[in-house]
Structure 1
Amino acid sequence: MRLSQPPTRPSTQSGLTLLEVLLAVSLLGILAYKGFAVLDSAADTTQASTSEVLVEERCQIVLERIARAVMSSSRESLAPAAEAPLSTEELTFQMHLGIENGEVIWSDPEKIALEQLENEAYWTRTPEAGPEQRVVLTHLVRPYLEGELPNGMDDNGNGLIDEKGLSFVVDRNAVHIRITLERVDGNGRLVTRTAQTTVTCRNPVPEVVP
């Protein structure tokens, strides 16, 4: 006697079809791509912000060092004494150190200037004996101040014509100092920052009483 097999019930669980697998893989790929795209965008934004902060800080530090030096100088020693609408990218100055035997004692000549081909702002001191002493303040100086072009016009509306990336303007005892720094960040974007200040020379030449 042959026993009959119970009828087979259809399975409630079935494997994924090839199409379903491909769709799932494609969806994962899209999600992963979007995730990496978001990470890349965040990294680019962070890098750009970091570059901006670095250029801004460097610009302020260099300007402050220059301003302090000029502030401590004698107005009569400033050369050239360029007045608006002209400006100069270099300034030579001296500081008086006191009076000895009825004569003013001057410091060694010092100069802060722009080396345009190297985008370099530097500070030199020339002692009477020995070689010139030179300190580079930054290698990021823009050839011309932000917004300015070498065309004989005042392009950026500051009252100056063709001023360089580091510029000095003398107005009686005051010196107007402007500087623009510029660099390319890791994403190939140009980061430009400009700073300016006005200082007054605090060391007029004293009258020597015979």
Structure 2
Amino acid sequence: MLLHRLHRGRGGFTLVEVLLSVVILGSLLGTVFVVQKQGQSAAVASQAQLQASLKASRLLDRVVRELQSMGSDAATPVQSTSLGTDTLDWQVSLGVTGGAVQWSNTNRFALAMAPGEADNGVDDDGDGLVDERALVLTYEVGTANQRSVTLCDAVAELAPRETANALDDNGNGVADERGFNLHRTGDILEVRITVQGTGPEGSVVSASVETSFRVRN
């Protein structure tokens, strides 16, 4: 009589196989986590860049809207040096009376340190930006009705690729320009603005905009 011996298959996993599976699974999960984190950081950076761009564009629109009615000879400084200027006093024509132009009270754009910030290379106010400026618009300077409004408190200290060395480092025709700069040649006024914001892990993003227009006579 022939006896057939049945061999049962081995059940379960060895310890080595279990450990190997854990290592592989951990590696896969780690890769997924890294990819997910990178994606989140990229999304945050894109959002920060978008916000800075929107702020810069809106600020540029406001500045141009205020200055488009500026009198050609009713501004100080009237013409710009190679540095341009971050401060401008101007008046608006109110009409003609008896053959003479009637001017409004003086208005002013001026770049100042942002609230809580000092010009010392340190983030004094803890917002992630260093030495940022505030663009302040003042109406009716020197009168009882004088009033000021801060249009933006995240203006860059200097324009991109520019350093304070009396040279035109970024090749745009203006030396040492601030994050807000007005440069006038003849009747053409150039407006340049750079706004900053904070991105992921303390990074700083910036957005620059510029335009030019002809000043009224």
Please, what TM-score do these two structures have when normalized by structure 2?
0.82
1:176–1:197: 8 Å Cα contact kept in structure 2? yes
Secondary structure, counterpart of 1:95 in structure 2: strand
Equivalence for 2:96: 99
> Is 1:151 aligned with 2:165?
yes
Mapping for residues 169-184 of structure 1, pairs under 5 Å: 169-184=183-198
Could you tell me which amino acid in structure 2 is paired with residue 197 of structure 1? T
Identity of aligned pairs, percent? Answer: 28
- Distance 1:161-1:53 versus aligned 2 partners, 3 A rule: same
Mapping for residues 13-162 of structure 1, pairs under 5 Å: 13-100=10-97, 103-116=100-113, 117=119, 119-126=133-140, 130-162=144-176
Higher strand share: 2
Say which is worse superposed, 58-67 or 160-169, in terms of deviation.
160-169
d(CA) in 2 for partners of 1:67, 1:129: 24
Could you tell me which amino acid in structure 1 is paired with residue 56 of structure 2? C
- Distance 1:107-1:183 versus aligned 2 partners, 3 A rule: same
Equivalence for 1:196: 210
Equivalence for 1:208: none
Tell me the alpha carbon deviations over residues 86-137 of structure 1, each in whole angstroms, 9 at most, x when there is no partner: 3111111111122346553322321112114551111111267535311111
Q: Once the 2 structures are TM-superposed, how far is the Cα of residue 72 of structure 1 from its aligned partner?
A: 1.3
1:73–1:96: 8 Å Cα contact kept in structure 2? yes
Q: Supply the RMSD in Å over aligned alpha carbons.
A: 2.1
Say which is worse superposed, 55-64 or 124-133, in terms of deviation.
124-133
Secondary structure, counterpart of 1:122 in structure 2: strand
1:167–1:179: 8 Å Cα contact kept in structure 2? yes
- Distance 1:45-1:128 versus aligned 2 partners, 3 A rule: closer
Equivalence for 1:187: 201
1:70–1:199: 8 Å Cα contact kept in structure 2? no
1:85–1:161: 8 Å Cα contact kept in structure 2? yes
d(CA) in 2 for partners of 1:44, 1:155: 31
d(CA) in 1 for partners of 2:79, 2:158: 17
d(CA) in 2 for partners of 1:128, 1:91: 15
Secondary structure, counterpart of 1:168 in structure 2: strand
Could you tell me which amino acid in structure 2 is paired with residue 65 of structure 1? R
Q: What are the ranges of 5 or more consecutive residues in structure 1 without an aligned counterpart?
A: 1-5, 205-210
1:84–1:159: 8 Å Cα contact kept in structure 2? no
Structure of higher CA gyration radius = 1
1:74–1:95: 8 Å Cα contact kept in structure 2? yes
Equivalence for 2:182: 168
Please, what TM-score do these two structures have when normalized by structure 1?
0.85
Task: Count residues in correspondence.
Answer: 198
Say which is worse superposed, 45-54 or 123-132, in terms of deviation.
123-132
> Is 1:11 aligned with 2:8?
yes
d(CA) in 2 for partners of 1:53, 1:93: 32
Say which is worse superposed, 129-138 or 60-69, in terms of deviation.
129-138
